[in-house]
């Protein structure tokens, strides 16, 4: 019996990889790695810490005694001290030097940054694979004409591949933002209780060079080149809003794609994958709902709205810090990562299996193309001696009649009317020739080729070692 609320991001949507990244095991293991890095750096800079103490800590870095930590927290009401005591219980020789000179933010904040960095790596890999899927799709359908839409009203033709490049370009922009944030992430480092490093100045007898070296040593041991030069007790919370803004942006792009596919599915032009035993509706057996893209839009909306949270938190930090960020960040940061991970899992799945119904697309084109072709017909008729004003009025009247017929369920007879009107001085073959859809797509095909070769292929070449990933969807 399942008695308690279960988070759908965990139970239904997010990958094991992202769940593991924000798991208690990884979090507290990273705390222990930070304590080890701190002890090693302090030893290297001359504090009386022994190799035996460090080796003892290393031997227990992964076997976290959660029960002990939970019991300690009941009494201390402090999660960091609970884990200091739990680690010390396993490492009696190292106990005196665990967390030496540090404040809670040393493990809490630095770990948050590390988890976000690793989370961005997971997101980046999936984002690149979605781009690769869409690239293949765009090239495959670069020449297939389709109705363009503005205001969801029929407009000039484009191609299916050209439209896909709009989706790709959004994601490529997101990737650039992600790479920038990833490359510029800094660790909080070793800054003490209010960011002044006063406790470490005390430990190292006011030797500033050693205190500065301690900061850079710990960062290097944890895989970072830089630390924030200035902090309060915590790293600037603007880091959270900047990272989550990248996740919001990915959600925006995915939402746009998913809504486009939902609209196209309604038109029966392009559909998401639909499995053999999948049920579209519990009541209407014939239905084929775009449920995956609907899920993308639902999760994307959650990320976009939730992404407001870190801005409010960052703007509300009093002086060197306030604790009203803590409970909020424990929820907001992991869940935004889990949600975007879920979005990209679905996006990968959908983008690999899009179904293009070319006959339906062609049918829709020829329902609208006669109206679009009238300008070309008019110009050619005038070249042959026709009266431009007279023929313009004729086309206007024929168009109104044809539009009325279509809205009443009939066929579009506009071209037939023009063919039969001798004032246009064009025979049927000449007029039909003007109705070829490929005459109305402009540079669409070559735009696809140029964009992919100039902008997308270099990205995919850079990341070629991580291409080919597929996504498993639980539901």
Q: Which residues are catalytic?
A: 151, 281
Question: Tokens 């990737």 sit at which residue?
Answer: 175
Neighbour count for residue 85 (Cβ, 10 Å): 20
For 150-165, the three-class secondary structure string (H helix, E strand, C coil) is ECCEEEEEEEHHHHHH
d(CA 358, CA 40): 65
d(CA 169, CA 161): 12
d(CA 93, CA 59): 12
Q: Helix or strand or coil: residue 33?
A: helix
Burial class for 388, CB neighbours closer than 10 Å (0-12, 13-18, 19+) = exposed
How many residues make up the chain in this entry?
Answer: 475
Extended strands (E) in 95-183: 145-150, 153-159
d(CA 54, CA 128): 40
Question: Tokens 């510029």 sit at which residue?
Answer: 184
Provide the token pair at 399. 């168009």
Cα 288 to chain centroid, rounded: 26
**Upper half-sphere CA count for residue 293 (Cβ side, 13 Å):** 25
Q: What share of the chain is helix, strand, coil (3-state, %, to 5)?
A: 65, 5, 30
Rg of the chain taking only CA atoms, in angstroms: 31
d(CA 317, CA 137): 47
**Upper half-sphere CA count for residue 445 (Cβ side, 13 Å):** 10
Burial class for 468, CB neighbours closer than 10 Å (0-12, 13-18, 19+) = exposed
Q: Helix or strand or coil: residue 271?
A: strand
Say if residues 152 and 108 touch (Cβ distance below 8 Å): no
Say if residues 256 and 248 touch (Cβ distance below 8 Å): no
Question: Tokens 């039969």 sit at which residue?
Answer: 420
Q: Helix or strand or coil: residue 294?
A: helix
Report residue 205: phi and psi, to 5°. 50, 45
Backbone CA torsion sign across 309, 312, 314, 317: negative
């Amino acid at each position: 019996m399942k008695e308690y609320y279960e988070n759908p991001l965990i139970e239904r949507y997010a990958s094991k990889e992202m769940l593991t990244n924000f798991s208690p095991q990884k979090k507290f293991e990273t705390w222990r790695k930070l304590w080890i890095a701190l002890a090693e750096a302090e030893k290297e800079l001359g504090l009386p810490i022994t190799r035996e103490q460090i080796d003892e800590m290393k031997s227990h870095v992964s076997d976290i005694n959660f029960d002990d930590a939970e019991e300690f927290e009941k009494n201390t009401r402090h999660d960091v001290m609970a884990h200091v005591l739990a680690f010390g219980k396993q490492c009696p020789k190292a106990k005196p030097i665990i967390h030496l000179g540090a404040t809670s933010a040393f493990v809490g904040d630095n770990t948050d940054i590390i988890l976000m960095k690793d989370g961005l790596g997971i997101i980046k890999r999936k984002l690149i694979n979605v781009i690769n899927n869409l690239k293949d799709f765009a090239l495959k359908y670069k020449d297939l004409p389709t109705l363009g839409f503005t205001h969801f009203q029929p407009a000039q033709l484009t191609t299916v591949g050209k439209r896909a490049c709009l989706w790709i370009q959004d994601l490529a922009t997101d990737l650039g933002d992600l790479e920038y944030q990833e490359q510029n992430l800094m660790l909080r480092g070793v800054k003490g209780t209010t960011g002044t490093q006063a406790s470490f100045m005390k430990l190292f007898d006011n030797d500033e060079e050693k205190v500065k070296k301690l900061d850079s040593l710990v960062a290097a041991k944890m895989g970072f080149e830089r630390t924030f030069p200035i902090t309060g007790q915590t790293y600037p919370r603007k880091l959270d809003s900047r990272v989550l803004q990248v996740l919001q942006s990915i959600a925006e792009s995915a939402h746009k794609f998913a809504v486009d596919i939902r609209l196209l599915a309604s038109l029966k032009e392009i559909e998401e994958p639909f499995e053999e035993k999948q049920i579209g509706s519990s009541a209407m057996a014939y239905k084929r709902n775009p449920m995956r893209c609907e899920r993308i839009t639902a999760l994307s909306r959650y990320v976009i709205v939730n992404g407001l949270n870190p801005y409010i938190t960052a703007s509300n930090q009093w002086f060197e810090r306030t604790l009203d960020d803590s409970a909020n960040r424990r929820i907001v940061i992991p869940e935004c990562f889990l949600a975007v991970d879920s979005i990209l899992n679905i996006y990968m799945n959908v983008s690999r299996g899009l179904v293009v119904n070319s006959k339906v697309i062609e049918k829709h084109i020829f329902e609208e193309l006669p109206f679009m072709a009238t300008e070309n017909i008019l110009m050619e008729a005038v070249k042959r001696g026709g009266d431009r004003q007279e023929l313009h009025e004729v086309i206007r009247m024929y168009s109104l009649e044809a539009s009325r017929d279509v809205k009443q369920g009939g066929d579009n007879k506009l071209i037939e009317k023009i063919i039969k009107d001798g004032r246009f001085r064009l025979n049927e073959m000449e007029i039909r020739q003007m109705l070829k859809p490929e005459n109305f797509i402009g540079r669409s095909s070559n735009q696809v080729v140029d964009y992919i070769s100039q902008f997308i292929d270099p990205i995919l070449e850079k990341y070629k070692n991580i291409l080919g990933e597929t996504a498993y969807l639980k539901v």
